Structure 1
Amino acid sequence: MPRTRPLSARRHLSGLGVALALCAAAPAVAQTTPIADSNWPQHGRTPAEQRYSPLKQINTDTVSRLGLAWYQDFDTFRGQEGTPLVIDGVMYVTTNWSKVEAVEAETGKVLWYYDPRVPGNAAVRGCCDTVNRGAAYADGRVFVGTFDGRLLALDAKNGHLLWSVNTIPQEATLGGIRSYTIDGAPRVAKGVVMIGNGGAEFGARGFVSGFDEKTGALKWRFYTVPAPGNKPDGAASDKILHDRAYRTWSPTGAWTTSGGGGTVWDSIVYDPETDLVFLGVGNGSPWNYRVRSDGVGDNLFLASIVAIRPETGEYVWHFQETPMDQWDFTASQPMMLLDLTLNGEKRHLLAQAPKNGFFYLLDAATGEFVSATPYTFLNWAKGVDPKTGRPNFVPDSLWSLTGKVWMGIPGSLGGHNWAPMAYSPDTGYVYIPAQELPEPFLPEKNFALHKMGVNLGIDLTGLPDDPKIVNAVNSGLKGWLEAWDPVAGKVAFKVPHDTPWNGGVLATAGNLVFQGLATGGFEAYDAHTGKRLYHFDAHSGIVAPPVSYAVNGRQYIAVEVGWGGAFPLMGGAMARHANTTINHSRLLVFALDGQASLPTEIRTGQAVVPTQQTFDAAKAEKGYMLYQHFCMACHGDNAVAGGVLPDLRWSGALDNDAAFSAIVSKGALENYGMVGFSKMLTPQETENIRQFLIRRSLAAKAH
């Protein structure tokens, strides 16, 4: 049976009666609109994943009448990154902690609700909040991955669990070092449900698995990084890893214990025309290339796009965007398929704007390199080889080899991250939620793998206190919506934003582009010029992408609200520097002449209450390094919160060493995601972290 949401958590549908009354009166979409145009049945709406809606009732002439039709509050204040699916008037929504619900897309009435009950202690396995980016739908089934590594099939009519499988094989968690999570959306092709995983910041060996849609039986598994000693796995990837990939790694690097990384944590695209599945492969584990692979080899298939067959997982081709990755330049960012005419020739192409700052076009059938053009400023490479696409590295950017600080642009959050881009065939532009967050990279001395906490191989201490570095990062923070012309290979226009880390993008036939902002706005722009035509105060930051659909002749725009994720290094706090809102996670649904309104709210963040304690300088200094290894990924670099979790400088537990120990060591708040660290930290080390946080609290008070 589906687990029912408590009535206290069903606070939604303010203004619903007015919205329903307006449904009949609103100007209708043409009655000949095909059902397919009214739905949003896949993650990117169609297999091409262009996130373009052919609906145009809401257009440049009518968008000024856009209003909130209905909304629903979620049962958590954490970040929301989901893409809702809409099939024949029913919307399927996934939220934080991998929860799923079905609602009437016209009214918001909850039809069913399913809570997979992800254990709170699973939160410690992930770098970036317990988010979920969406479900997949096929043949009356809804498929969703859970943060603790399961893949579920639910009956679309009633939410009943049809099957559940653990996607993480036991041998993958070697020695307790490796950590796996799922926050990406599954994809379905030819009766196979495909899902990857995340965890490379902690230690993981990447792979994607294909399961039978009807039974959940494993059909194939494709590893993206070879096994130590080139041992076979009995997987679809055995031959290509043995023959090609293994020789691109040192046989003795830290990857043999940490797994090497290469997790496919987001983008997976199936192309019916070529019958290929494209996997966007992530970063190395650890980030430090010298430590990971002794500074040897390109490390396939890190930071690569890999094409496989959907029914068997058979390897077909690959293209590596960033050899020797040491900047967290994943190729996991959203991909799309484009049919373009280049130099008079029609081409079927795979397009991507990954973290590294280049916009790539590849032949979808063969993986042949077509072009790579910077879509943003980058300083780590001087272009690419025009024949192979291999980047021409700036020597000083190879920080793990030089041993010197490198101020990288883009930093590890990328020129574009996971927030989906969109393409309009009407304008010919790809709309990219672009950003710039400079980041310092410096090798960690005496690196050792930890069973808990991040394993990056970067010196995480000292840099944030350097005024020159802080000023350099602050001065370089930028965010914008970019219209990219993939044929001309240049920017058509930009819409500047106040901060980085903004939401995904939707393009429509109404000549509009929709995007939510980190600062709490939901906006619409003219798709040809970028002129802002609509703004709605959503009360909370938005990172999720909007979708559009129609029910009974009325077009809707829906978006999940909740600015989220937790970020390593300096990026999180910096990305939030212009976002002072707190989260009120919810689903907003708009339509012409919508009359609903959000409740009036006191919009202040966590109370700033500096501790009254004093600190021991020697203990605080030891606590600094411990904090950076074990706490930073969730609570922010140098104890400056960058995501949605508490800023520990203002924690009341700082004034009570027993309370602090109960939380940090014994896991008193484990059900909320704060696991205990007693197996990793001694009581004195826990106290050292408290001393460091007291120091940080008092330093903030002094300023």
Structure 2
Amino acid sequence: MAGMRPGKAPAPPPGGRDWARYGGDAENHYSPLDQINRGNVARLGLAWSLDLDDGPNAMSAPLAVDGIVYFTTGYSVVHAVDARTGQRLWRFDPQAPERAGRKMRAAWGSRGIAFARGLIFTGTIDGRLIAVDAKTGAQAWSVQTLSREDESYITGPPWIAGDKVVIGFGGGDFGPVRGYVTAYDISTGKQAWRFYTVPGDPKKGPDGAASDDVMAMAAKTWTGEWWKWGGGGTAWHAMAYDPKRELIFIGTGNGAPWNRKVRSPGGGDNLFLCAIIALDARTGKYRWHYQVNPGESWDYNAAMDIELATLEIDGRPRDVVMQAPKNGFFYVLDRDTGKLISAEKFAPANWATRIDKATGRPVETPFARFPGGKPVVIYPSPVGAHAAEAMAYSPRTRLVYTPAYDQARVYVDAPDLAAWRFKPGQVINNAVGVPPPSMTLPPGKSALLAWDPARQREVWRLPQVGQRTGGATATGGDLVFQSQADGMFKAFDARSGKVLWSTDIQNGAQAQPITYLVDGRQYVTVMASWRAQGPSGRVPEYDYYSTRRRVLTFALDGKRRLPPAAPVTPIADDPAFKVDPALADRGKPLFAAHCAICHGPATMSGGAAPDLKRGGAPLAYDSLVAVLRDGMLVPRGMPRFEELAPTDIAALQHYIRQQARLALVAKGSPAAATRMAQDARRLHADQ
């Protein structure tokens, strides 16, 4: 193309015809398409749907390029379907679970993919970055970008930056992981550069990475022997690319472990945790950073959407970077320098009173770091005031539409903090303790928030069902599309928040919808697959066994209909099984440590993994052994726990069966109540 730098990737087609990037053309989850608009959105109907069965997760943000929709299911299984009809064109399975080992325990499946130069890019849980031919589904190249030995894994989307594809990873919650991002040549997969996001062991010297010249500066902000803990700072989710400046903006995560008292006992800012970092996309060289939470200790991070916009500030246009990270403040930064322009609270946040505009630093409250190890209620919780669900910015309304959360957590030091260590195989390793039972918290809340970033103020807020909700997409038709936890897919008036259209898609959707044009017709596509715990009263309806995971596409005057929702799988109980309450008590912490992250607290799964009260495997000890010890379901995404002793598996079985009977009692089952009473009498007699 004339005037294009040699080797530079072509820009996506103008006008929003395709949705070729995770965040759309301008990295702000906006499409200029207006064929579907406020005046006619009531005519929107289902054009086609496709049921999916590649494991538990289908929460990928899809792409649409040249009339083909691409998305992932399960563990980075890539699909291509005809955007007009939903007909399958090809499927690529990297067989990641079989290669992942213990990495399977901490990850969630893919949140997105990338497209450039006729290739689809996906990261895998076992640490590969793979390029797939967009026409045929054949693998073009593959690189192992992560260590096979640690807890690191990939769930976030790759990012296209000029002629390179950039990938980060997660794992800082689960083990001693040191964060970095790596860029590869789009065509060949050859590594171009690597940038470490936290310093390593000073005794080992430079890493031979693009970050070498700034790591000495970063190391001055750490204390103790932090490198033994990994440090964290993983870039596990969103980035953004500015083609004009050839800058890639990286959002980094929390510390490993969360509690700074362990990883950096003498304090310090701990660069580059919880920060936005601007890098030269050609070389990986550092340009600037802004740290959202110096010395992070709460699992807050800056890995949420990084959105690029031009705002009118003080009477003149300024190119900015915007983010609503977990910590509850909405940040606007200068895109050239990273200097703070403004930051205000968009959700309840009591860890800080404000962000000092002169220094760019938060003014923390005296109790923010749970001094003395005493339990303290902190807002927001580790879920965040805004999580991985995408926000959208409309240049028409000049508003940002954010899935916003109001929830807290009790923070307290883990017992015997001086002797704390990562526990191999345990899912969450954070050096934060369990709060006393007397400290209860109100249920979390969610909302869709319209926020004016230039004036830093709320314009409207719509309360929604449950503690989490779905990602948002804005359009030139002055619409905001969003799916919610209760399975309703809606279109809102972008200016007023009024609901203009809604339909039941029979499952929640956390990934943002996309919209695109094929043969002159505008389509809207969304992936229906809820991952989080469902809202109160709706959890059973997202039954892993019967609720369908789908990709659904809508257009004006679409006439298709979904089949009726399947009945919920009943809670399983074997009348002959005698629950040992003492064994069940032993199983409770085992379940919390190893199982709850996927199967839900107290077995209350949200649908991305089975509600074990309804499953057949926990009814038989041998079946549980086959799953947990032998790895019978690894290809379906269920990891092995080979270190569990027979008594551990028995304890888990009795805990799950006890929870099933409790659930049946709550539903009014006299037989279950009788069996619970018999179990209690047996325990009393044994004692």
User: Is the structural similarity TM-score above 0.5?
Assistant: yes
Q: Which amino acid aligns with 1:682?
A: A
Q: 1:55 to 1:278 in 2, by over 3 A?
A: same
Deviations 1:390-429 (A, max 9, x none): 1111222212x43122222210111111111111111110
* SS, match of residue 686 in structure 1: helix
Distance 1:524 1:633, change over 3 A: same
CA contact (8 A) 1:410 1:438 kept: yes
1:646-692 Cα deviation digits (max 9, x unpaired): 233454444433333332233333232233323x3333333333344
| CA distance in 1 between partners of 2:572 and 2:364 (Å) | 44
Question: Superposed, which structure 2 residues align to 1:269-280 within 5 Å?
Answer: 269-280=240-251
1:246 aligns to 2:219 (yes or no): yes
**Code of the aligned partner of 2:169:** N
Q: Which residue of 2 aligns with 1:581?
A: 542
Instruction: Tell me the SS of whatever aligns to 2:298.
Output: coil
Work out whether residues 285 and 455 of structure 1, in 8 Å CA contact, stay in contact via their aligned partners in 2: no
Are the structure 2 counterparts of residues 524 and 217 from structure 1 closer, same or farther at C-alpha, using a change threshold of 3 Å? same
Q: Which residue of 1 aligns with 2:649?
A: 686
Q: Shift of the alpha carbon at 1:441?
A: 2.2
How far apart are the structure 2 equivalents of 1:71 and 1:100?
Answer: 17
Instruction: Summarize the alignment of residues 94-493 of structure 1 with structure 2, pairs less than 5 Å apart.
Output: 94-120=72-98, 122=100, 124-125=102-103, 130-169=108-147, 173=149, 178-203=150-175, 204-229=177-202, 231=204, 232-242=206-216, 244-252=217-225, 255-294=226-265, 296-399=267-370, 401-446=371-416, 447-458=420-431, 466=437, 468-469=439-440, 472-474=441-443, 477-493=444-460
Q: 1:550-577 deviations in whole A, cap 9, x for unaligned?
A: 1111111111111115xxxxxx466786
Per the alignment, residue 7 of structure 2 pairs with none
Residue-by-residue CA offset, 1:255-312 (whole Å, 9 max, x unaligned) = 4333121111111111123221110001111112212222521211111111111111
- The separation in 1 between residues aligned to 2:65 and 2:657, in whole angstroms, is 52
Equivalent-residue separation in structure 2 for 1:44 and 1:205 (angstroms) = 27
Would you say 1:525 and 2:525 are equivalent positions? no
What is the aligned partner in structure 2 of residue 83 from structure 1? 61
Superposed CA deviations along residues 37-82 of structure 1, whole A, max 9, x for unmatched, are 3111211111x31121111111111011110011111123623222
Please give the secondary structure, in 2, of the residue aligned with 1:660.
helix
SS at match of 1:298: coil
Query: Once the two structures are superposed, what CA deviation does each residue of 1:235-256 show, in whole Å capped at 9, x if it has no partner?
Result: 11122112x111222232xx43
Q: Is the 8 Å Cα contact of residues 519 and 581 (structure 1) preserved in structure 2?
A: no
Residue 579 of structure 1: how far off its partner (Å)? 7.4
Q: Which whole-Å deviations, capped at 9, do the CAs of 1:325-382 have from their partners, x for residues lacking one?
A: 1211110001111111111232110000011100001111111111111111111111
Contact 1:129 1:634 in 2 (8 A): no
- SS at 1:64's partner residue? helix
Alpha-carbon separation, structure 2, partners of 1:202 and 1:179: 6
Q: What amino acid does structure 2 have at the position aligned with 1:307? A: A
Q: Which amino acid aligns with 2:17?
A: S
Separation (CA, whole Å) in 1 of partners of 2:578 and 2:412: 31
Could you tell me which residue of structure 2 aligns to residue 5 of structure 1?
Answer: none
Aligned to 2:681: none
TM-superposed CA distance for 1:608, in Å, is: 5.4
**AA of the residue aligned to 1:428:** R
What do residues 594-649 of structure 1 show as CA deviations (whole Å, max 9, x unaligned)? Answer: 00111122242563548764454554444333332222322223443345212334
Return the alpha-carbon distance in structure 1 between the equivalents of residues 366 and 105 of structure 2. 29
Kept in 2: contact 1:423–1:429 (CA 8 A): yes
Indicate which of 26, 39, 43 corresponds to 2:22. Answer: 43
Q: Distance in 2 between matches of 1:240 and 1:536?
A: 51
**Contact 2:246/2:282 (CA < 8 Å) preserved in 1?**
no
- Kindly indicate whether the alpha-carbon contact (under 8 Å) linking 2:97 and 2:104 is maintained by their aligned counterparts in 1: no
Aligned-partner residue type, residue 148 of structure 1: D
TM-score, structure 2 as length reference: 0.89
Q: In 1, Cα distance between the equivalents of 2:562 and 2:142? A: 37
Identity of aligned residues (%): 39
Q: Aligned pair in 2 of structure 1 residues 603, 206: CA closer, same or farther (>3 Å)?
A: farther
- Aligned-residue CA RMSD (Å): 2.3
Q: Aligned letter for 1:65? A: R
Quote how far apart the aligned CAs of 1:578 are.
6.4
Q: Give the whole-Å Cα distance in 2 for the aligned partners of 1:262 and 1:701.
A: 44
The answer (yes or no) to whether the contact 1:127–1:201 under 8 Å persists in 2 is: no
Query: Residue type of the partner of 2:412?
Result: L
Partner of 1:16: none
Whole-angstrom distance in 2 between the partners of 1:573 and 1:590: 25
Q: Deviations over 1:426-470 (max 9, x none)?
A: 11100001122222222221432122123433566575xx3651x
Paired residue secondary structure (1:125):
helix
Distance in 2 (alpha carbons) for counterparts of 1:77 and 1:534: 31
C-alpha distance in 1 between matches for 2:322 and 2:43: 35
**Which of 570, 580, 598 does residue 562 from structure 2 map onto?**
598
C-alpha contact (below 8 Å) 1:301/1:320 kept by paired residues: yes
User: Aligned residue for 1:61?
Assistant: 39
Q: Is the 8 A contact 1:433 1:503 kept in 2?
A: yes
The aligned counterpart of 1:6 is none
CA distance in 2, matches of 1:518, 1:121: 32
Aligned residue number for residue 644 of structure 1: 608
Query: Structure 1 pair 455/294, CA: closer, same or farther in 2 (3 Å)?
Result: farther
- Secondary structure, counterpart of 2:160 in structure 1: strand
Tell me, in whole angstroms, the C-alpha distance in 1 between the residues paired with 2:298 and 2:307: 24
Which digits, 9 at most, give the CA deviation of each residue in 1:136-187, with x for residues without a partner?
12122221112221111122221221111111146xx3xxxx3121111111
Partner of 1:627: 591
The 8 Å contact of residues 611 and 652 in structure 1, kept in 2 or not, is answered as: no
- TM-score of the aligned structures, taking structure 1 as reference length: 0.87
2:442 partner SS: helix
Q: Give the letter for the 1:213 counterpart.
A: I
Query: Which of 462, 486, 498 matches 1:495?
Result: 462
Does 2:516 align with 1:549?
Answer: yes
Q: Are the structure 2 counterparts of residues 443 and 41 from structure 1 closer, same or farther at C-alpha, using a change threshold of 3 Å?
A: same
1:126 deviates by: 5.4
Gaps of 5+ in 1: 1-33, 566-571
Determine the structure 2 residue equivalent to 1:661.
Answer: 625
Classify 1:292/1:686 alpha carbon distance in 2 versus 1 (closer, same or farther; 3 Å). Answer: farther
Judge which range, 90-99 or 50-59, deviates more: 90-99
Gaps of 5+ in 2: 1-12, 667-687
**CA offset at residue 230 of structure 1?**
5.5
Q: Contact (CA 8 Å) 1:519, 1:580: kept in 2 or not? A: no
Contact kept, 8 Å, 2:579 with 2:658, in 1: the verdict is yes
8 Å CA contact retained: 2:131, 2:142 = yes
Separation in structure 1 between the aligned mates of residue 265 and residue 294 of structure 2, nearest angstrom: 14
Separation in 2, partners of 1:257, 1:230: 12
Q: Measured at CA, do residues 217 and 576 of structure 1 come closer, stay the same or move farther in structure 2, by a change above 3 Å?
A: farther
| Contact 1:610/1:698, CA 8 A, preserved across alignment | no
